[in-house]
A and B are shown apart, each in its own frame.
Chain A
Amino acid sequence: MAIRNRVKELRARHRLTQGDLAGKVGVTRQTIVSLEKGSYTPSLLLAMNLSDVLGEQIEDIFYREGEEQ
């Protein structure tokens, strides 16, 4: 079962570029690109860092496919 996310939407809400977000969570921009495309499932640590930066609970950023909120 694939994991989807709202990173793109939340990043836009915070007016962050992919590079800005990558710098804040300590990954490369390409990782943010893959994350937004849904082709990469992050580690728990990266998910927690994204949660801190985007100001949302992890379960509000990531959800199982077919369980859209």
Chain B
Amino acid sequence: MKRIVTETVLSVILYTLIAVAISSVYLPFADLAETLRENPDGFEITINLIPWIILVLFGTLHMIYSFKARNKNKSFFTWAFKSMTEYAEGDEREANITNKATRSAYTTYGITIPIFMIFLLFYPLLSSTFPTYPIYLLAAIINISTIVYGVTWVREYRK
């Protein structure tokens, strides 16, 4: 159970860092598009690498933790390509709990995405002060679903 809580927290931090890193290049890319429109022959772009360095460092540590903490009966291929780090399938009960938690997370997508589509209507009002608003909305959707997954998993595990 401790592993699932840790993985859930790490995933939420990772998704947030991804949103911060992508947001950090949004304005430079917008400037680049403007420059290319005005002067198609040459361009210049300045990107803040600090969010990307933090993301790579955190992502590497997360990967090492997840690999070490994985179920030992899970092959490297399955761990790397066919599974999420939050999944726990050590025995049939854990697989059952993972199924229920995944179902809750999926249901959460069905609720949050339409609501967040409505939030996108406010983008024209916020675009000048908060241009990366849609990126953070997407991060919020996946973070909410990840938290729902973790909470459901812990609740079911304690039954």
Residue positions of A touching B, CB distance < 8 A? 26-28, 30-31, 34, 39-40, 42-43, 45-46
Contact = CB atoms under 8 A, between A and B. Distances in A.
Interface stretch (B15-23, B31-39, B86-94, B110-118): B86-94
Nearest to A26: B91
Main secondary structure of the interface of B (DSSP, over half): helix
Nearest to A22: B91
B82 interface: no
Interface in B125-159: 157, 159
Interface range on chain B (Cβ under 8 Å from partner):
under 10
16 contacts: A26-B91, A27-B91, A27-B92, A27-B93, A28-B90, A28-B93, A28-B94, A30-B93, A31-B92, A31-B94, A34-B93, A39-B159, A40-B159, A42-B92, A45-B92, A46-B92
Contact of A28 (B91, B96, B159): B91
A40 B159 CA distance: 8
A63 to B, nearest CB: 20
Nearest to B92: A43
Contacts of B93: 27-28, 30-31, 34, 40
A14 B90 CA distance: 25
Interface in B105-124: none
B40 to A, nearest CB: 62
Contacts of A31: 91-94
A25 B94 CA distance: 15
Interface in B68-104: 90-94, 96
